Amino acid sequence: MFDTATYVRRRNELKKLVNEGVVIFFGNNESPVNFPNNGYYPFRQDSSFLYYFGLQRDGLVGVIDIDNNRDILIGNDIDIEDIVWYGSVQSMHDMAQQCGADETLPMKHLKLICNEALRTHRKIHFLPPYRHDIKIQIFDLLGIHPTQQKEDASMDLIRAVVKMRSVKEPQEIEELERAAVIGYEMHTTAMRLTRPGVTEKFVGGQVDGIANSYGAMVSFPTIYTQHGEILHGNPSMNKLEAGRLALCDAGAETINNYCSDNTRTMPVSGKFSQRQFEIYSIVEACHDYTLEVAKPGVRYADVHFAVCRLMFDRLKELGLTKGDTEAAVQAGAHALFMPHGLGHMMGMDVHDMENLDQINVGFDEETRPNLTQFGTNNLRMGRRLEEGFVVTDEPGIYFIPALIDEWKAKQHCAAFLNFDKIESYKDFGGIRIEDDVLITLQGCRFIGAQRIPYHPKDVEEFMAAHRAE
């Protein structure tokens, strides 16, 4: 965790933004895999609780009483039975000192705090819960049914948390840089191991092992697949085949739970075919174009659509698309090839603060999401960029057979798509290139001092020089 002053400062800033009432941050509890004492490892704390209290132990709740200027750490001290099995841990008193809380209380007192606030008609602020045990706890404390809790969560608190967590502090950027170091090792490991005859599962497992050995855990389940057209394709027991592409989308969390998120696409045989090179070069150009146009004050939605126009024009050169580019993008024709957004916020959560609802994180009153157009409705980030934001830059081109068949049958966007030519790519798969971008005063830069190879020549040369036997 960071120094004590960091958490005191953050909570004081939050008090000013929320202004009144009682704020409750629920830390996570252990989550069983298949029976109570077999929990998922490592334990993952709630990110907002971490942001304001910094403590990794399960079974904790942070209470910020704004009206009385009190910060309370709620939880029970570990008993001797737990110490026998898990070793000695810090006392509640010691943890309170670490995060700068004013006092500690046992968990049973949380009900008393909530009852008193309800009795005196004080506002109780909580964030939308995403774990069912916390939903039950909120039901017990506040009488709000789990189906109603997202709607009853405090918008004042959501806005304040998004405002604070969106702009990364220098120490947070340092943590993201550390995550990038692990991410580099993960992806270059995938490149070294990728060759015909190896299973997707083996490569994916080795990539996960890098994250576990250098940091806390993977920042999301690793995607490693020859079917790059499946956006979230998990590693299977299928063997890698010569002539195909392997897509690796993976990231790590540091010990302090700051994330990396990168994607690389590589030829299983070590060399891109001409057709693969042509499509890859378009994705590469879109990826690099983001660096030219992303800067403070620019809407990320505008960056997204600028990339989509570039992609459409380049696909037109290959005979896959046709017609007026602007009209095609407005109609959503580009989404046949890229049905997702250019990127998302990133920080302690790989999709930062997604539990607070993407409309609150990636958009604002000026920029609203388009929820009706296919592809555009998957835009996670559209608002104006600010210095200190960290976003992903992840264009991709995918040839999804079922989607191609559906659009062709319906003649959807037929004025802009050459379906006969597109049909010949149904066995292609997909390509994505992704990096993490810090918005700076003048523009933006990649997170990570070491660049994971992504230019076609660099990928081929790295694989030739480092391929494992």
Report the alpha-carbon distance of residue 145 to residue 131 in Å, rounded: 14
124 pLDDT tier (thresholds 50, 70, 90): very high
CA distances from 117 to 109, 122, 174 (A): 12, 5, 39
Average pLDDT over residues 85-99: 89
Domain boundaries 4-166, CATH class: alpha beta
This prediction's pTM: 0.95
467 pLDDT tier (thresholds 50, 70, 90): confident
277 close to 202: Cβ distance less than 8 angstroms = no
Could you tell me how far CA 240 lies from the centroid of its own chain? 27
86 pLDDT tier (thresholds 50, 70, 90): confident
pLDDT digits (tens, 9 = 90+) for 6-39: 999 999 999 999 999 999 999 999 999 999 888 8
* Sign of the four-CA dihedral 411, 412, 418, 424: negative
Torsion from C-alpha of 458, 459, 461, 466, nearest 10 degrees: 130
Report the alpha-carbon distance of residue 391 to residue 410 in Å, rounded: 35
The whole-number pLDDT of residue 37 equals 81
Say if residue 468's pLDDT is above 90.
no
* Sign of the four-CA dihedral 91, 93, 98, 104: positive
The whole-number pLDDT of residue 469 equals 67
**Residue 224, CA atoms < 13 Å, CB-side half-sphere:** 29
Quickly name the fold that domain 170-466 has. Creatine Amidinohydrolase (3.90.230)
Could you tell me how far CA 321 lies from the centroid of its own chain? 31
Helices of type H across 19-154? 47-53, 80-86, 92-99, 108-119, 132-142, 146-152
pLDDT digits (tens, 9 = 90+) for 136-145: 999 999 999 9
50 close to 257: Cβ distance less than 8 angstroms = yes
What is the share, in percent, of the chain residues with pLDDT greater than 70? Answer: 100
The whole-number pLDDT of residue 85 equals 77
Tokens coding 85? 């099995």
pLDDT digits (tens, 9 = 90+) for 226-238: 999 999 999 999 9
Radius of gyration for the chain, computed over Cα atoms and rounded to the nearest angstrom: 24
Least confident among 89-93, 257-261, 345-349:
89-93
Phi, psi of 47 (to 5 degrees): -70, -40
CB atoms within 10 A of CB 92: 22
215 close to 255: Cβ distance less than 8 angstroms = yes
Pairing of strands 22-26, 124-126: parallel
Say if residue 78's pLDDT is above 90.
no
Ranges of each domain in the chain: 4-166, 170-466
pLDDT digits (tens, 9 = 90+) for 386-401: 999 999 999 999 999 9
Say if residue 448's pLDDT is above 70.
yes
* Sign of the four-CA dihedral 183, 185, 191, 197: negative
The whole-number pLDDT of residue 168 equals 98
pLDDT digits (tens, 9 = 90+) for 317-368: 999 999 999 999 999 999 999 999 999 999 999 999 999 998 999 999 999 9
The whole-number pLDDT of residue 385 equals 98
281 pLDDT tier (thresholds 50, 70, 90): very high
Strand partners, 62: 25, 73
Torsion from C-alpha of 98, 99, 103, 109, nearest 10 degrees: -120
Helix, strand, or coil here: 455?
coil
Average pLDDT over residues 442-453: 95
Angle at 327 between CA 321 and CA 332, to 5 degrees: 70
Length of the chain: 469
Phi, psi of 72 (to 5 degrees): -120, 130
Tell me the DSSP string of 248-301.
EEE-EE-TT--B--EEEEEETTSS--HHHHHHHHHHHHHHHHHHHH--TT-BHH
The whole-number pLDDT of residue 81 equals 81
Sheet strands side by side (includes 223-225): 223-225, 245-250, 262-267
